[in-house]
Amino acid sequence: MVEKFIMAGQTPLHLCDSQEGERCIVLLHGYLESMLVWEDFVPLLYKKVRVITLDLPGHGISQVMGECHTMEFLADTVKEMLDSLGVERCTLVGHSMGGYAALAFCQKYPERLDGVVLLSSTPNADSEEKRANREREIKLIKSGKKELLTHTAPQAGFAADNRRAMRDYIEDLVEIIHITEDEGIVALLNGMIARNDQNEMLQTSPVRQLFILGRKDEYITPPVAEAMVAAHPQAKVVWLENSGHMGFLEEPKACAEALLEFALA
């Protein structure tokens, strides 16, 4: 993997690129994450496909570009990155918030996609309750209490019975939160609040679709996930039976196999 900075349009972007392979998978991380979350997962993929990971603007060490990073802005940034790297088409994999960016990309640039993968993510817009929670989080950050996020968010991503085994990953996620700029967190929270429902877009899209969902996910609970699957018969679905929200860490081999089968089809 070659690590570098590029300009994606007007946005300085930090990325890693394996550079080899006829097919390409781009991995978009979730909220309060960075491309570091993929470090142990990428080796399961890059012998078969080209793999690109990046720090989405506002997280990792990519730059904060305003007070609201909309999902459309993130999609445009990914498109500009692909242009800079000379990648015409890819399978775009979005984990959680990264899935929201992938959906915006699917809407704007379907001709650039071999497929789109929602990895523990959803096309649903925020509920009123979820919006209120994000607003509270923004107030927390602006009042200098980011530390409180480290007490709940990293652990909650994993199935309860996996947390002991995933302790090192939880510590890594805590560290990522510590080094993430407050302004970047707020910009992405604002972007998630503002995003649109993408169910109709997905249902009518010509782009191939895969949902990878955890049976023990506490964010996208089983009833919500089942309703999502029922609403999208056009999508292929893979369930990770022993995973929460972080299936690519909890069941990496099963997750990688599903991705490769889809990307190479």
Neighbours of 111 (CB within 10 A): 9
Quick: pLDDT tens for 49-93: 999 999 999 999 999 999 999 999 999 999 999 999 999 999 999
Quick: pLDDT tens for 152-186: 899 999 999 999 999 999 999 999 999 999 999 99
CA distance 118 to 102: 8
Count of structural domains within the chain: 1
CA distance 144 to 134: 16
Q: What is the mean pLDDT of the chain?
A: 97
- At residue 24, the pLDDT reads 98
The single-letter DSSP state of residue 119 is: E
Exposure b/e, 195-204, CB count within 10 A at least 16 = b: bbebbebbee
CATH number, domain with residue 120: 3.40.50.1820
- At residue 242, the pLDDT reads 98
- At residue 265, the pLDDT reads 95
CA distance 159 to 221: 11
Q: What is the CA radius of gyration of the chain?
A: 17
Nearest residue to 52 (alpha-carbon basis) of 75, 29, 32, 24: 24
- pLDDT bin (cut points 50, 70, 90) of residue 110 is very high
- Rounded to two decimals, the pTM is 0.98
Structural domain including 136 reads 2-263
CA distance 87 to 68: 27
CA distance 8 to 138: 27
- At residue 157, the pLDDT reads 97
Quick: pLDDT tens for 193-248: 999 999 999 999 999 999 999 999 999 999 999 999 999 999 999 999 999 999 99
Nearest residue to 264 (alpha-carbon basis) of 1, 24, 19, 20: 24
- At residue 155, the pLDDT reads 96
Please name every residue paired with 3 in a beta bridge, in sequence order, or none if there are none. 16
- At residue 227, the pLDDT reads 98
